[in-house]
A and B are shown apart, each in its own frame.
Chain A
Amino acid sequence: MLRFIVRRLLQVIPTLLLLSVLVFAWLRSLPGGPATALLGERATPERVEELNRILGLDQPIWTQYLRFLGRVLTGDFGTSSITGEPVLTEIGRAMPATIELSVAALAIAVALGIPLGYLAASYRGRPLDVSVVVVTLVGVSVPVFFLGYVLRDFFAVDLGLLPPSGRTSVGIDATSVTGFAVLDGLLTREFDASWDALTHLVLPAVTLATIPLAVITRITRASVLDVVGSDFVRTANSKGLAPGTIRGRHVLRNALLPVSTTIGLQTGLLLGGAVLTERVFVWGGIGTLLADSITLRDYPRLQALLLLGALVYVLVNLLVDLSYAVIDPRVRLS
């Protein structure tokens, strides 16, 4: 097991190194080069040249790359060209909002997707199955941001059931402990603050959950169908085992293996979806930071977000792989 972990960890290193080369190349191919990107298009040639010298852009490309790598490895992602604040500070501040949103969305997707997929597979070919499949197909075809607007206009604006945007209401005085608004309210026993944060969370989380939900439902359905048709389930059936035992021990356990990988892959979708969802609901997390960086052409921030986004994605998938090896011994033996 330890050997598997070490081997898998070592595999990540070339990926991350290559990623840093790509991001470095990306930064260098920005319109007008990094200095112009930092100073804006109206910068005088003298200032561009001066900044080029300060940034070491007059050095050979290899020196530049190694210096870039050194800075990134020591956690120095530079400062935002708009606010002048260290990018990492800004990201750290926005992080809890996005984690809260993504965890809520993923929880909805998993809690609904696995039972729905299982149900659809059990009623294969019947109206229930067909409607689940159709709904999931429509689900992946709806532009996320459009869905967000529709939900917001219906539930928040027309019905007035839920708040339309933001993370908390004005006038709610919540103590911040962890930065996760719902959790903070529980920790400090300010239950009204917790409830308020929860109502704000519903619409964005549902919006963000749609695509992962559709994907998880479909994978669960396909995987259950695959397992149900396998020899060991037939054997279990012919041994006369109770249907409940077969379902739990033979079918579900094996069917959930591919599902767990899929859940890991959803983190990438969640990051992308968060950019769109947060913009609709003025959520103020990483997604908002990213969207703002695009509009304001804040390249240092964009670069850091890109690197960290990929890093998170790689690490989550590494974790999924490792947990997979814990669940399924075949993986670590091969």
Chain B
Amino acid sequence: MTAPTTPSTSGQRRFRRKSERIDDLAAGRSLSAEALRRLRRDPVALTGAAIIGVFVLVSLAAPLLAPHGATETFPELQENLRPGQIPGPQPGFPLGSDQLGRDFLSRMLLAARQTLLVGVMATLIGLSIGMVIGVLAGAFGGWVDTVLMRVTDVMLAIPSLLLAISVAALAANPSQTTVIIAVAVVSVPIFARLLRGSMLAQREADHVVAATALGVKRPAVVLRHMLPNAIGPVIVQATLTLATAILDAAALSFLGLGDADPGRAEWGLMLAQAQSYLEVRPALAFFPAIAIIVVALGFTLLGESLREAIDPKGRR
């Protein structure tokens, strides 16, 4: 099918989309292959993916890109300054230094890695626990379902930041691990409910009934026939959670529940620490803030277009 050379009306466009879908099905493409095809043409998805790509590349290559170490201090930068001043950009230090005389550019680059780590670990932990709960509840139903869903109800009844705060407050000494766990806990009930919902929808589906009738064992039915078809919305949610995890971690740092390690370079932590130096050097807050906003936006863009791409109703 060739793309029309003249701008088409929305009616024509809609017709074209519909016929593409029919082509897809006729060609025997799976729903996920079709979704991927739609994603590849979606400028929103591509923008999100590009942002995430750069972010991941920077965090992987950070030690090579960063001219200095994260904890290396340069007292000589502060020699000609009045006390309380923070050195600005100068040769060798394109972004100046931070409040402790460390190269700000290097810390920004190295922080990409820690920020990615916090986001990914928190999401993975939340996802794994949430999935176990969701699969158990959705596959078994009955009292297992009732009990598990009551627990998630309660977790959802606590406003998310309050929940994260109360988990983080349990630690005697805040660290990166406690931040990751606190942020992860918040997403557990969301993943669990989502997966349970789409597992329930699968239970009565023809292919599941057929598999059961053919004598496929229960665990295999659940894991091989129900789960793969129910996982779509969960993947979307995980992408969106990567964004909120990074933002929540920043909020915890701001409230003093963040990582207590003064050497750690992580955007949320750097942003929270920079609040005390806003008048002196706002750049210390702006760079990490912009980095967080762009990365969170990247995950949100990709997540939202994923949601649209896997929507069986197609794009309206």
Contacts and interface: CB of A to CB of B under 8 A. Distances in A.
B137 interface: no
Contacts of B157: 15, 19, 310, 313-314
A139 to B, nearest CB: 10
Interface stretch (B77-85, B158-166, B202-210): B158-166
Contacts of B158: 19, 306, 309-310, 313
A32 B278 contact: no
B271 interface: yes
A184 B10 CA distance: 54
Contact of A141 (B10, B243, B256): B243
Interface residues of B, number: 41
B275 A142 contact: no
B150 interface: yes
B285 A149 contact: yes
Contact of B159 (A125, A153, A291, A310): A310
B300 A19 contact: no
A225 interface: yes
B170 A26 contact: yes
Nearest to B159: A268
A290 interface: yes
Contacts of B154: 15, 18-19, 22, 310
Interface string B138-166: 00000000000011011001111110011
Nearest to A309: B162
A306 B166 contact: yes
Given A26-B166, A141-B297, A295 B278 contact: no
A153 B286 CA distance: 13
Give chain B's interface secondary structure class.
helix
Interface string A132-147: 0000011011111110
Given A14-B150, A31-B171, A269 B254 contact: no
A30 interface: yes
B304 A137 contact: yes
Contacts of B255: 275-276, 279, 291, 294
A302 interface: yes
B132 interface: no
B316 A225 contact: yes
A297 B168 CA distance: 12
B256 A294 contact: yes
A313 B159 contact: yes
B251 interface: yes
A19 B297 CA distance: 34
Contacts of B150: 14-15, 18
B170 A143 contact: no
19 contacts: A14-B150, A15-B154, A137-B300, A138-B293, A140-B243, A141-B296, A143-B251, A143-B293, A146-B271, A146-B289, A149-B278, A229-B316, A271-B161, A272-B161, A275-B165, A276-B251, A290-B162, A290-B165, A291-B255
Interface of B: 10, 150-151, 153-154, 157-162, 165-166, 169-172, 243, 247, 250-251, 254-257, 268, 271, 275, 278, 282, 285, 289, 292-294, 296-297, 300-301, 304, 316
